[in-house]
Amino acid sequence: MSLWKRAMTLDELNKTSAGTMVEHLGIIYTHLDDDSLEAEMPVDNRTQQPFGLLHGGASVVLAETLGSMAGFLTTTEGQCVVGTEVNASHHRAVASGTVRGVCKPLHLGRASQVWEIAIFDGRGKRCCTARLTTATLG
């Protein structure tokens, strides 16, 4: 059974990024199943820090993007979610290629949600673990 209350295709999800930071950083939603949402982000001049590695802040943008959209998908008409706390632990450096974020719920309550976002490098090695807490409004 799917946890999503809103029915959206990957194409529709990706269209929501037009004109936003999500589009600017090249984040693309790539997979949606009954209990997870995935997206990819390039490691390039838009997402690297001055030393040529993936910027930790870019990883947090990917994590918050996934958790916020996943939270939105669990709401109904007239509701929305807003982030209240995000944290990230960076495990390994990534210098090039693409990273993939996988977002799954840890807690889905009436007033709050907690999402875990695992970010993997191109070899499938975990490079970041993030957690996003959201408040459900409406």
Specify burial of residue 113 (Cβ count, 10 A radius: 0-12, 13-18, 19+).
Answer: buried
Tell me if residue 2 falls in helix, strand or coil: coil
Active site residue 64: yes
- Chain position carrying tokens 């984040």: 27
Determine the length of the chain: 138
Catalytic position from the list 12, 23, 38, 64: 64
Residues 6+ away with beta carbon under 8 Å from 51: none
Q: Which helix (H) or strand (E) holds 124?
A: none
Asked whether 25 and 46 are in contact (CB, 8 A), the reply is yes
**Which residues are identified as catalytic?**
64
